[in-house]
Structure 1
């Protein structure tokens, strides 16, 4: 009988990545749960196999081999209590930072706690036995395959990360008897680099940076990324709270939402920096490099190949230095992106009275050097379609991405600079969720809050939420929580905030808004903090978003419209019949 690799894909992925990362020594202990793993390894001449019946002894052997060779050693054991015998040696390896990789095979984790023979709980390890522990589940679809790839890479990299140490992989098996797979699947290898390492060369092609939410940039950091972009004809696509205001900034959120193909969004290499973002799909990369001081494996695009554990300025300066260029380098990519951005900006339709209309009206009118805090989710999206004035720092609670503390965060920030204006934009559910913060006695006269009140969570009723709209009959009662907090009462927020010492403004239509908004954005500190409550309708919010997403139509649609404008309906119908098309 010919024997090759098991057909269990999670096992294949692990074996393929062991080979890619140059790990070949394996100490196997007998058992049935690890048959698919060990049976696959032993038929591959790449691996240097050893056998040891006692798992405690096997783990200590691995310590000796790792210390002597300086290379990782793999352990393999079955289910039941076999893995418990690894703990003494793994403790030794932990304190000596030895690269021992304990692969403990297991049945499906859903069996834990149900009195299934030989199934024990390995979800938690003693703190001083391993530096990393992951679980590779049975692969049922491509998402599972991606998850196993990322976790296996993460575990293998942890063997040498920050001095290294022992690592644990819990490997599910289905006890497959099929060993007919002749070739391992090609696996994406993720590698990690520090500033001391020899850095990889860039792949050829178009390069871009995406910056998620980010703390304030220093001039040194901005200069570094600008040098890099100048050297490689690159651009920086930004989240609204990225706070990068260098030459190569591209606020591309609105362009990216249009239903057209756009070559500017297709890149060969994306440098991913910053933190959480709701706007990563601005860009469609073939390959991603992550730059972050934490060195974590963050694979937001599922195309990560390299992680650079260093400061962003260090990364960009190092690669800029690699390019011997003069100051006349090509900025064509930037110019193409800015042209598309400008074109869309000049074609904003006459939106109905909505959050988007308000954002369009105010985004370029806020006082310079003020601070803007955007709530989750409508404020972040609505204001993210417009380019906010460079001197304004923009922040948002994108970390946890919840509506529960937007006002409190704004107030806390405002206390740090009493002489600077702090603007906050929130929806009604977020406002009432956190309204007790307005009664805090420390709230200063530098706080100004724009409240967009449509009496529900409009997000759940927007046309883009087809998964909800098409499946649920009554969205308003419970899912979007309609008509709480006064049913858009014109008096509730007014009385509450005025009694707390706020100046209150309101508007329910464009004409009313135009009459009062200038007071809200006055650049001088006023005697009181302000609340500007704006009442909108969910129907108008939905229509405004539809219009924003369909500003630029495809060339085919434009040609059709042009033809219809010059030909009669009879001629068009005749043509359809002749060509047999509808």
Structure 2
């Protein structure tokens, strides 16, 4: 009977990526747990396989092969104590910086610790035996397949990253005896590009630079990004905390959440810089992603990562902007046309956090710093184009509600002459309220507190899994704590601690006092502006932002499509293009 590749998808993924990365030398030891791997590669003429019964000897053979050939060499062994015999040679490889890929086959990790024969725990490796260790689990769905692809790429790339060295892959098997898969699926190869390496060509199509949370951006970096956009007809899609002040900034969140067809999303190439962000959805699903970061890590937020450029950001943009093509940036113009349309058609909003952000986003004094809490503050202010002269930050790294005001205080100590504004919800405020009594709080601190007496996030219509839960405020949204929208609790607390206190419960109240909160001059005291809102108004405001009245163009297009059908609509488009 003919034999081809195993039907175990995790094994297929690993084999396909070994071929993509050019790793062909394998030293195999006998056993039942690695049958699907060895049985698959032995019928593939790409691989150059050597046999060794003793795993300790096999690993040293791999050391000799790697040192002499200058190539990465793979090892394969079964379960039980076989893998333990790799340690002496892997230690040798670690200190000699030899690229050895130790593939240890195993049964499912859930069996560890249950007295099942030949099951040992490989979850932790001695520090000086391998540079990294990954586990490729059995693939049950697309998410598992993506995970195995990323981990296998990561392991293979680490063999030669920052100096060569050994790497460990723990490969689960189900002992399948089906070897009838004639062709391997093409697996996505992720590559790392260094400053001294060969840079890939920029593909044709829509190109977007996505900036997540970013530290203060230098003028030279912003200029290099601008030049890149001019050269490649690209845009810069930004998180509110991107701190990019260049000409091609596109705050696309409001447009992105509308239920319209949008040709500006889903770019052909996304250049990903910056760190953690809650707003990656503004660019949709890019076809290919190039991540640029000095850490060189395999971070696959969009699940289409192709290259990681381990280098300073400005070097990347300068490299791809050497030959300037003078042309109009049509992509940017198209994006901003949509942004302006929706900003100009924001409906009447109830008194809510979004309404407050709408009123204040472009009124903060020149050169101020804005610290946003997670979720509602980040989202509410992210709908609007905050002026580029305002630096914006948020604790998106760990993405918790704790510490927002403390981070604000820490930042405010650096420049006591500059105004620092913070925006937090009531639970976040009371979680971190001890910092308000810190003796270092200066007159340059101003905090906007949106108080609706619970975690309003869990009551929003977009939380489809929670809106039908009974009595959600009892525990899930933590209602009823901290005075339950008392008009006196925060007022007495902060005034006793030396703050100026402002408050509003309606739009009329707000209009009377907000100008004091944003006065550009330093005042004698720090400020707390407590705004009381209702959770139902918060929900309604968000609903209206999600479903802004579409233009006649969109309404007619959707009406026609509903009448004649999508297939006929496509035929009409092709005829018109002729």
| TM-score normalised over the length of structure 1 | 0.95
The aligned counterpart of 2:309 is 308
What corresponds to 2:189 in structure 1?
A: 189
Is 1:496 aligned to residue 497 of structure 2?
Answer: no
Separation in structure 1 between the aligned mates of residue 112 and residue 499 of structure 2, nearest angstrom: 56
Q: Could you tell me how far apart the structure 1 residues matched to 2:257 and 2:236 are?
A: 17
Shift of 1:96: 1.0
The offset of 1:2, in angstroms, is: 1.0
Q: Which residue of 2 aligns with 1:567?
A: none
Quote how far apart the aligned CAs of 1:559 are. 3.9
SS at match of 1:526: coil
- Residue 339 of structure 1 is matched in structure 2 by 337
2:510 is aligned with 1:513: yes
Match of 1:349 in 2: 347
Residue 206 of structure 1 and its aligned partner are, at CA, apart by 1.1
> Counterparts of 1:475 and 1:488 in 2: how far apart (Å)?
18
Q: Counterpart in 1 of 2:575? A: none
CA contact (8 A) 2:260 2:554 kept: no
Tell me the equivalent position of 2:88: 88
The alpha-carbon deviation at position 407 of structure 1 amounts to 0.6
1:366 is matched with which residue? 364
**Aligned position for 1:380:** 378
Residue aligned with 1:544, SS: helix
Give 1:238-387 correspondences, 5 Å limit.
238-284=238-284, 285-321=286-322, 323-325=323-325, 328-387=326-385
Quote how far apart the aligned CAs of 1:474 are: 2.3
SS, match of residue 60 in structure 2:
helix
Identify the residue that residue 147 of structure 1 maps to in structure 2. Answer: 147
C-alpha spacing 1:557/1:218, structure 2 compared with 1 (3 Å):
closer
Contact 1:104 1:170 in 2 (8 A): yes
**Which residue of the partner structure matches residue 408 of structure 2?**
410
Task: Write the deviation string for residues 138-178 of structure 1: whole angstroms up to 9, x where unpaired.
Answer: 00000000000000000000011001210000000000011
- How far apart, CA to CA, are the structure 1 residues paired with 2:376 and 2:488? 24
For 1:482 and 1:61, locate their aligned partners in 2 and report how far apart those are by CA, in whole Å: 65
1:558 deviation in Å?
2.9
1:156 corresponds in structure 2 to: 156
Q: Give SS of 2:448's match.
A: strand
CA deviations over 1:252-300 (Å, ceiling 9, x no partner): 1111111111111131101011000011011131111110000000100
Deviates more, 1:334-343 or 1:56-65: 334-343
User: Structure 2: where are the runs of 5+ without partners?
Assistant: 561-578
Is 1:529–2:526 an aligned residue pair? yes
Do 2:10 and 2:145's aligned partners in 1 also have CA atoms closer than 8 Å?
yes
- 2:391 corresponding residue in structure 1: 393
Contact 1:367–1:523 (CA under 8 A) maintained in structure 2: yes
Partner of 1:232: 232
- 2:221–2:313: 8 Å Cα contact kept in structure 1? yes
Identify if the C-alpha distance between structure 1 residues 450 and 77 changes in structure 2 by more than 3 Å, giving closer, same or farther: same
- Give the TM-score of the pair, scaled to structure 2: 0.95
Task: State how 1:200-211 maps to structure 2 within 5 Å.
Answer: 200-211=200-211
Structure 1, residues 490-515: CA drift from partner, whole Å, max 9, x if none? 00000000000000000000000000
The CA distance in 2 between the partners of 1:558 and 1:301, in whole Å, is 31
Q: Matched residues in 1 for 2:554 and 2:44: separation?
A: 57
Q: Distance in 2 between matches of 1:554 and 1:49?
A: 64
User: Where does residue 24 of structure 2 map in the other structure?
Assistant: 24
Residues 1:429 and 2:427 aligned together: yes
Partner of 1:267, secondary structure, is: coil
Retained in 2: the 8 A contact 1:155–1:168?
yes
Contact 2:40 2:179 in 1 (8 A): yes
The alignment partner of 1:266 has SS state of coil
Question: Residue by residue, what CA displacement relative to the aligned partner does 1:330-375 show, whole Å, maximum 9, x if unpaired?
Answer: 2111111111111111111110000000000000000010100000
* Distance in 2 separating the partners of 1:558 and 1:38: 59
1:579 aligned residue? none
1:275 and 1:513 mapped to 2: Cα distance? 35
Hey, what does 2:573 align to over in structure 1? none
Closer, same or farther: CA 555–140 of 1 in aligned 2, 3 Å: farther
1:466/1:555 Cα in 2 relative to 1: closer, same or farther (>3 Å)? farther
Cα distance between partner residues in 2 of 1:263 and 1:494:
49
Name segments (4+ residues, structure 1) moved above 4 Å. 554-557, 560-563
Secondary structure, counterpart of 1:469 in structure 2: coil
2:135–2:170 contact (8 Å) kept in structure 1: yes
Counterpart CA distance in 1 for 2:549 and 2:197 is 46
The residue that corresponds to 2:546 in the other structure is 549
Specify the SS of the correspondent of 2:86: helix
**What displacement does 1:556 show?**
8.2
Using a 3 Å threshold, how does the CA distance of structure 1 residues 523 and 178 change in structure 2: closer, same or farther? same
Q: Report deviation, 1:557.
A: 7.2
Q: Is the contact between residue 260 and residue 554 of structure 1 (CA under 8 Å) also seen in structure 2?
A: no
CA distance in 1, matches of 2:427, 2:56: 57
1:360-399 residue CA offsets vs partner (Å, 9 max, x unmatched): 0000000010100000110000000011111110000000
**CA distance, structure 1, for counterparts of residue 474 and residue 413 of structure 2:** 38
Q: Which segments of 5 or more consecutive residues in structure 1 lack a partner in the other structure?
A: 564-582
Deviation at 1:247, TM superposition (A): 0.5
The answer for the alignment partner of 1:70 in structure 2 is 70
Does the CA contact (< 8 Å) of 1:107 and 1:173 recur in 2? yes
Relative to structure 1, is the Cα distance of residues 25 and 561 closer, same or farther in structure 2, using a 3 angstrom cutoff? closer
Question: C-alpha separation between the residues in 1 aligned to 2:188 and 2:551?
Answer: 35
